[in-house]
Structure formats: structure tokens, C-alpha cells
Amino acid sequence: MSSPLIVPKTQSKKQWLDGAVGYEIYVRSFADSTGDGTGDLNGVTDRLDYLKWLGIDIVWLTPFYPSPGHDHGYDVSNYRDVDPSHGTLADAERLIERVHELDLRIIFDIVPNHTSSEHEWFKAAIADPTSPERDFYLFRDPAPNGGPPNNWLSHFGPTAWTRDERSGQYWCHLFLPEQPDLNWRNPAVRDEFDDIYRFWFERGVDGFRIDVAHGLLKHPELPDLPQIKDIAPGAGPMETFFSFDHIYDLDQDDNVEIFERWQDIAAPFDACLLAESGVEDHERLARYVQPGALDLTFFLKPGWMKWNPDKLVAELVGLAKVEPHGIAWVISNHDNARPVSRFGNSDRALAVTTLMWALGGVPFLYQGEELASPNGLIAPGDRHDPISTRNETDEGRDVCRTPMAWTDAFQNGFTTGSPWLRSEPRPVQFTVEGQTADPRSPLHRYRSLIELRKTHPDLWQAELVFSDTGRPDVAAARRGTTFTIANLGSEPASVDLPEGSWHIVFASRVPASDTSPVTGTVTVPAETSVVFATAADT
């Protein structure tokens, strides 16, 4: 057996992140307190006790700012207020207060890559091409043929350019035309966001998840993107987008300079800055959390993957070897099909999540993940996601955005009215109420796993040592008094335990009822992760 790989231990930049577990709330689908069918801030406040019971430490809210809603809140028209459909600024302040009463932390979503086309800055830019706000955005003259300035694409299809009929120029948007990209090379844009951060930090917000953090700066010359693969007939917008190498519109080297500036603002408030970054290269992603930059970055690739044990182990372990301290680990969020549906069953999803618990950083769950919820069932006529409604494709994200299932009563207890996104109701076995009553349910399994991070702090604070298992679909990681074996393969795996006496403290497939000591070689069932602890730590 080859020598183990040792990853040195370091302390988190913000100590309250150490050992924490996060939870993403998709606000419009979590809890509706008014009966209008849209989730709101008071609905979140009303359900915080559930998250406290679950063991969550950090609550992340998706955008609730004023927005025309073309991309369900990710097209912000005012960063310093609350959309009436979600409540009021006073509701946000009460929510922050209640979070802190429960000894939790709360992070908001910030959307700095683009604004809404209804934002006052963009309206001024369109009304007067000589206005200062014009340079807040990326307006360019057309190409010699009169078309878009380059071949850049929108994530949501087709082109990343829309023509301003008044001036004849085009504006850039990596998402919808109603989401014009900001010009982050303009110092005035940077000044505005400095003030936006301070506005919320002064109200007690504990941090921000930064949307499209890898997309802020574009290459100043806006060159054409190289195409790296053929576009299949009938390809959807996302497949088409990733047929190009985005070396000029995403992940520019000087993005990190902006993060360092923001850290200077966040640090006096002990606030966390967390990137949503689509960067897949492990070394380049690690730049986002280099000293002086952001505290954490999501690694999004597992959220897009189908069941592939070898690749999942390679991606998770490979990144942990490069950057084990600054990663926010996820296998799903509001942009991904549910992991149970992508992976094929809930046992596989929990096995992967259990491995993430041993990799350092801060793991996050997405609402409903703790219930092992599969994709929601939505009739084609009820779709809302612009990816599907504006294109002839089934690529849309609605399947993971259906309302949270609290009970098996009317509308699953989400609302007393008609929900903004209609879907088939969840049966009782996929509701919070139903699973709370069943001690063997996924909800209790996830709660036990979260508790494990508190009762066995070596899982995140001790030196990380990887063992060679001899199989690409099996990972083994020791952290102090804990040892985690993740067998994602289809056959049982035999793995040597470190020297000493060990006890099973968590098993992803079944409750760890056998706590008798074990030594030597153990056999872990297929598609199962097991966490062992030494006798001194049980």
C-alpha cells in the first residue's frame, strides 16, 4: 500500500464557520405565511425552529430583493430593500434577530454579475447613452456585419447580446436580456457594491453567497470564444453554452482583486463571503479562497453529475487534497435536479454526503434534501423557469424548486392558497411531518449525520489523511479519532482500518446499531459510507 496523503490542518478565516453545517432556503418555495402562494421572509422565520432541531448552523436565503421576477429574483432591481411578495425590510430585520436568538447565522444572496433591466442604473443607461450609468454595463458597437460584437452565448440561450434600438449598440448579458451584466472594471460599480454590503452587514447579516462570482470580470477586449465541441441538433441552451471554452467571459485572473476588496469590508463584521463558482479546475477554484480573498467557495460540479462513482470520488477527494478548508460542499441546490433523481436512489445520495462530512470546509444541504426528495412532477404548462419557457427544452430547473413539503395536507402545508409553482403533491413519506414520526426516515438519518459533526469535531478539525483503498470508487479518510470509508461502488469493499480499536458511529445505509469494537480489515457494503471513531471518542 502506498503512503497516505496528508493534508495539513488550518483554521477557518471566520471561526464560526468551523464545524458548521449550512442549509439553503429557496425563499419563494419554503413557507408562505400570507396565503398568496409565494414563500416569504415571515414564513422562513416561522420555520426556523425546524432548522434548529435539524442541527443546522447557517441559513442561506436566495434573493428576496425587489425584482420583476424574470429569473425568480436573480434579476435585482433594488439591492437595499425587500420585494413586497416576500415581505418588508422590517420582516428581514426580524428574521435576522430571530436567527441570532436561536444561535444560528444567516447569509443572504448577492447578485453582483448583473442587475435587472428595471434597475435605476440600467434605465438611466438606456435613456441617455452619455450618462455615467452607461459605463455601469457592457455596451459595445455591433460587429462589422451589424450583428453582435462577438460570439458569446447566454446560459439561457441564445446570444449574450441584445441590441439597444435607440443607440444601435448591444448590451452584454450572460443570462437573460433582462439581466444586463455589470462592468466590474468601472470603479463606480465597485463603490456601489461596497455600500450595499455595508447596508446589510450593519443590519446583522452574517455573510453573503455571491452569485456567479466567477463571472464578474470579462476580458477587456471581449474576444470570440473558441468552440470545443460540436453542438448536437436540438441541443438545449445549457448544452450549447458549454460547447464553448469560456476563457474570456468567465474566471478571469483578476476576479480575485474584487474578492480581496470585499473581504476588507466583511472582516470588521466577522462576516463570511461565499462564492458561487462554476469553476471546475481544482487549482483555479482554490484561488477564490486564497489568503485575503473569500472565506468559502461552492464546488458545483457534483450537483450536475449523474451517478458515476469513480468520478465522484475523484472530484471530491481530488479537490480536498488541493483545498480542504475553504470549500462549501454540495450535491444539490436550486439549479440542479434532485440528487435522488440524478443518482438513482436516496442511499447513494446520503453515501456521497457522508463522504463530504469528512472533507473539511462547510457542507450545505438544499431544502428537501434531508427528506430524500426526488424531482417534483410538473405539467409542461405549469413550468416557470425561463430556460424551458423561452426555449424548446426540458432542461429547466423547476423540478428542484417545487414547494417544501411540510405535511400531506392541502398544498403540503406550504400555502393556504395556490402555489406559484404547481406540482404533484408529495405523499406523506416525503414530508417533514411524516418523516419526523418515522425514526428510520431520511430526515432522522441526516439529523444524525449533522449531529455527528458536533459530537466528533475531529471530522473537521483534525489533520486529513487519505488512505489508498486500491479502488477508484472507494475513498478512505482519517481525521484524528475518526475514519470514514465511502464505498460508492456496486460491490462490497474491504478496507484496512488504522491501528487500534474502532466503533461504527454512523452508516449511511442503515442505522449504526452495532457499536462493538472492530479492528483490522472491515467490509463496507456497496453504495454505503461508514464513519468509525476510536474507543476514546465514542
**410 and 277 fall within a common domain:** yes
Confidence of residue 10 (pLDDT cuts 50, 70, 90): very low
Q: Is residue 415 part of a domain?
A: yes
CATH of the domain at 273: 3.20.20.80
30 with 156, same domain: the answer is no
Give the sign of the dihedral formed by CA 523, CA 524, CA 525, CA 526.
negative
Q: Say how far apart CA 358 and CA 260 lie, in whole Å.
A: 28
Q: Give the domain range for residue 130.
A: 120-172
194 shares its domain with 296: yes
Q: Tell me, what CATH number does 521's domain have? A: 2.60.40.1180
Provide the pLDDT for residue 83: 98
- Residue 395 confidence (pLDDT): 82
Q: Are 118 and 77 in contact (CB under 8 A)?
A: yes
Do 28 and 154 lie in one domain? The reply is no
Query: Is 276 one of the annotated active-site residues of the chain?
Result: yes
> Are 519 and 417 contained in the same domain?
no
Residue 394: the pLDDT is 80
Q: Using the predicted structure, report yes or no on whether residue 494 has a pLDDT greater than 70.
A: yes
Residues 107 and 129 in one domain: no
Q: Which three cell numbers stand for residue 429?
A: 413519506
Question: 474 and 384 in one domain?
Answer: no
Q: Is 257 an annotated catalytic residue?
A: no
Q: What is the pTM of this model?
A: 0.95
Q: Categorize the per-residue pLDDT at 324 as very low, low, confident or very high, splitting at 50, 70 and 90.
A: confident
The yes-or-no verdict on residue 536 having pLDDT over 90 is: no
Task: Give counts: helices (H), strands (E), the chain.
Answer: 16, 19
**231 occurs within a structural domain:** no
Whether pLDDT at 127 is above 80 = yes
Percent of the chain with pLDDT over 90: 91
Considering the candidates 276, 323, 398, 527, report the single residue annotated as catalytic: 276
Catalytic residue among 133, 206, 211, 249: 211
- 376 and 319 within one domain: yes
User: DSSP alpha helices (H): ranges in 212-357?
Assistant: 237-241, 255-266, 282-286, 301-304, 309-322, 339-343, 346-356
Q: For all residues of the chain together, what is the average pLDDT?
A: 95
* Same domain? 284 vs 364: yes
Specify the number of domains making up the chain.
3
Q: Return the ∠ at Cα 128 (arms to 126 and 132), rounded to 5°.
A: 95
Q: Which residues of 56-67 are buried (b: 16+ CB within 10 A; e: fewer)?
A: bbbbbbbbbbbb
Averaged pLDDT for residues 393-413: 94
CB 246 within 8 A of CB 238: no
| Residue 7: inside a domain | no
The DSSP element (H or E) to which 23 belongs, if any, is strand 22-25
pLDDT at 11: 44
Determine the Cα–Cα distance for residues 386 and 171; give it in Å rounded to an integer: 19
Lowest mean pLDDT among 230-244, 337-351, 417-431, 500-514: 500-514
CATH of residue 164:
3.90.400.10
Residue with cell 436512489: 345
Q: Over the stretch 433-476, which tens digit does the pLDDT of each residue have?
A: 999 999 999 999 999 999 999 999 999 999 999 999 999 999 99
124 shares its domain with 108: no
Q: What percent of the chain has pLDDT over 70?
A: 96
Residue 512's pLDDT band, with cuts at 50, 70 and 90, is low
Q: Which of 40, 23, 24, 26 is nearest to 402 (CA)?
A: 26
Which pLDDT score is estimated for 487? 98
